[in-house]
Structure 1
Amino acid sequence: MAKVIHAFKQQGYRVAAIKHDAHRFEMDHEGKDTWKFAQAGSDVVLINSQEKLAMIEKVESSLSFEAVISYVKDVDIILVEGYKHEAPSKILVVRREEDLTLLSSLKDVIAIATSLPLDEKQIPIYDLDDVEGIVELIQSNILGEIKDGSRS
């Protein structure tokens, strides 16, 4: 996904990346002011600099995909890792043959990205390192663009 993000950035796109973490994650660092604010009970902590804005919000439970993307503004494309049963138009990353079992339970899979030699005939297969091919697929199937970058 990082390579795809980089390729879109090279073409001038504004890109958002969303990662769904099924485990607990921690972005704040103990002892820092933002950590102290959260420990004191703040439900939302924002930190802003000349280059970045970050927000940490306490939630009662994991948010839906739609709720998460509502936070994203002013981008051309949102790339998502996770939310496999919620996110539309997905590329299934297959690292082990067992991962192929997901294909029957997922909707809107437009391709497979893998380094395995697969004999899947129903869906396009891309090598994990075929960043150009994957980017072109996303441009044509999702962004509605043809190879020269114009809208179709």
Structure 2
Amino acid sequence: MKLYGVTGWKNAGKTGLMERLVTEITGRGFSVSTVKHAHHSFDVDHPGKDSHRHRVAGASEVILASRNRVAHMTELRGEDEPKLSDLLPRLAPVDLVLIEGYKRDSHPKVEAFRAVTGNTLIAPGDPTIRAVASDVPLDMDRPVFDLDDTKAIADFILSEVGL
């Protein structure tokens, strides 16, 4: 599977860019899966539901399945957070895996950047960032795209991974 990331600081536009890229790339006939890193606790389950009750009771893993979707939840219970390289083999084969976050991992990435956040660019010190998608013009040593030019960013990513 080919991998490409979208990274950047909080409120830089990563999730919106990911959403648009998935729509654009799947619209071209490619299969896409995503992995998103969260820096906070999250839950896909709801208190009182059977699967939640299983987890609270102590189950290490719970698979919830219906005719519409399957969710596989793993409770870490104090164990280390899994590395991206440990998570990728869990995915079924697809043409492209888009990864949101994981800014310190070594896969190639596009950095999402919004000037209004006041954050500095990550790209100047990170050679894994192959391009920047920005809401302001930037003078850089790598391609800079308009943050909203999803087609051009998708073209760049697909070219980079050979699709």
**TM-score normalised to structure 2 length:** 0.82
Question: Residue 93 of structure 1 aligns with which residue?
Answer: 112
Tell me, yes or no, if structure 1 residue 10 matches structure 2 residue 24.
no
In structure 1, list runs of 5 or more residues that go unmatched: 146-152
Shift of 1:91: 0.3
Tell me, yes or no, if structure 1 residue 126 matches structure 2 residue 145.
yes
Specify the SS of the correspondent of 1:99.
Answer: coil
Q: Is the 8 A contact 2:123 2:132 kept in 1?
A: no
Identify which of 32, 40, 48 aligns with 2:57.
40
Instruction: Identify the structure with bigger relative contact order (alpha carbons < 8 Å, sequence gap 6+).
Output: 2
Q: Which runs of 4+ in 1 moved over 2 A?
A: 96-99, 104-107
Q: Is the 8 A contact 1:111 1:123 kept in 2?
A: yes
Distance of aligned partners of 1:68 and 1:87 in 2 relative to their CA distance in 1, 3 Å threshold:
farther
Q: What residue identity is the alignment partner of 2:98?
A: L
Percent identity between matched residues is 30
Shift of 1:87: 4.3
In structure 2, list runs of 5 or more residues that go unmatched: 1-17
Q: What residue identity is the alignment partner of 2:58?
A: G
Q: 1:19-71: per-residue Cα shift (whole Å, max 9, x none)?
A: 10011111110000100010111100001111211110012121111011121
Provide the aligned C-alpha RMSD in A.
1.3
Aligned counterparts, 1:1-152, within 5 A: 1-59=18-76, 60-96=79-115, 98-100=119-121, 102-120=122-140, 122-142=141-161, 144-145=162-163
Question: Residue 150 of structure 1 aligns with which residue?
Answer: none
Specify the SS of the correspondent of 1:138.
Answer: helix
Q: Is the 8 A contact 2:65 2:71 kept in 1?
A: yes
Shift of 1:107: 3.2
**TM-score normalised to structure 1 length:** 0.88
